[in-house]
Structures are given as structure tokens and as C-alpha cells.
């Protein structure tokens, strides 16, 4: 399948998602929130659990986690740690931090990266989690608003198309 055709296929599947705009946007916000946390192999499960608990869309929650993807894990984890370490007042641990960032940059298995983070101790883990929590809390509300407008727009667009199609078939 050609790349452009595949892209169009996924685009059409995305705009045809079923649900209320609020539920879909809430799911995206939970996905963005979970995507900022350094829990790489568990982001989707966490986002879907939040969506189930707060009545958001489970599908868009899973999709929203892709805000952190293999192309930008390095940057997300970098800012997770830097922000968390700053707020906790941790001393600079360049060697440990660079080892973890190198494993992310080279694409090592996610569990190996998690093991490296956990191996550095509780304060190091706390810095990653605190930074991810804060970034998630900062980015998910604007994500909700943006996707709420987007899904409302898609709903209006689909209704207009449906009405126009109904008028055409009625006139025939």
C-alpha cells in the first residue's frame, strides 16, 4: 500500500470516530497526559484506564499517547528529567542521565531504558515522574481544548455533508 494511501486511510478512520466530541477530546487529553509520563511500555494502558474511569474515549486515549513517539522520546524524557530535577533540587548527574538518554536515542528496548532509570535510584525516578506529571498537566488541558474544537468541527462537517447528500437524493 502506498504511503499516501495509507495516510489517507488512517485520516479517514480518525475523522469517522464515533462518540461525543467531549468524550473524544477527553480521551485525547488523557493520552497526551500519559504520553508525557516516562512509563513508556505502559502509557497506553494508563491512558485507557483513565479514559474508562472518567468516561472518555478509550480509542482516542490510546491515540493520544502517540504525542510521545519514537521520534521525540528523547526530547520528552530530557525535559521530564530536567524539569523534575530542577524542582526537586537534585544535583547534576550527567553520566547517569546521558547513559539513559543514549539508550533512548539509539532505540534500545523500552524496558531496558526503564530498567536503567529505575537502577539510578528513587530520586532519579522521582525527577522523571515529577517532570512528566507537570508536563502532562501543562499540555493535556490545551490538548483537550484543541481536540474538542477539532471534533466539534468534524461533527458539523459530517452533518452538513449528510444534509447535502439527503437533499441531492431527495431532488433526484
d(CA 156, CA 73): 35
Q: 68 with 104: CB under 8 angstroms?
A: no
pLDDT digits (tens, 9 = 90+) for 79-112: 888 899 899 888 777 777 777 777 777 777 777 7
Residue 19 phi/psi, 5-degree rounding, is: 135, 165
Q: Which residues are within 8 A (CB) of 58 and not within 5 positions of it... i.e. 6 or more apart? A: 27, 48, 51, 52
For residue 31, which of 1, 59, 71, 72 has the smallest C-alpha distance?
Answer: 59
DSSP annotation of 92 reads: P
pLDDT digits (tens, 9 = 90+) for 106-135: 777 777 777 777 777 788 888 889 999 999
DSSP annotation of 107 reads: T
- Per 3-state DSSP, the chain is made up of helix, strand and coil in percentages (nearest 5) of 85, 0, 15
| Per-residue cell: 154 | 468534524
d(CA 109, CA 122): 22
pLDDT digits (tens, 9 = 90+) for 49-76: 999 999 999 999 999 998 877 677 778 8
Q: Which long-range contacts (CB under 8 A, 24 or more apart) does 106-111 make?
A: 107/70, 110/40, 110/41, 111/41
Global pTM?
0.81
Amino acid at each position: 500500500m502506498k504511503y499516501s494511501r495509507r495516510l489517507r486511510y488512517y485520516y479517514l478512520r480518525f475523522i469517522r470516530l464515533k462518540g461525543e466530541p467531549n468524550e473524544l477530546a477527553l480521551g485525547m487529553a488523557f493520552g497526551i497526559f500519559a504520553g508525557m509520563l516516562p512509563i513508556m511500555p505502559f502509557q497506553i494502558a494508563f491512558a485507557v484506564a483513565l479514559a474508562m474511569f472518567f468516561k472518555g474515549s478509550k480509542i482516542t486515549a490510546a491515540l493520544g499517547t502517540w504525542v510521545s513517539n519514537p521520534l521525540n522520546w528523547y526530547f520528552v524524557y530530557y525535559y521530564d528529567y530536567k524539569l523534575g530535577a530542577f524542582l526537586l533540587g537534585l544535583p547534576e548527574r550527567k553520566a547517569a542521565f546521558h547513559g539513559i538518554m543514549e539508550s533512548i536515542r539509539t532505540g534500545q528496548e523500552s524496558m531496558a531504558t526503564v530498567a536503567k532509570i529505575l537502577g539510578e535510584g528513587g530520586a532519579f525516578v522521582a525527577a522523571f515522574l515529577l517532570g512528566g506529571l507537570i508536563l502532562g498537566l501543562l499540555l493535556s488541558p490545551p490538548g483537550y481544548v484543541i481536540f474538542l474544537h477539532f471534533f466539534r468541527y468534524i461533527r458539523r462537517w459530517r452533518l452538513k455533508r449528510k444534509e447535502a447528500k439527503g437533499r441531492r437524493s431527495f431532488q433526484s
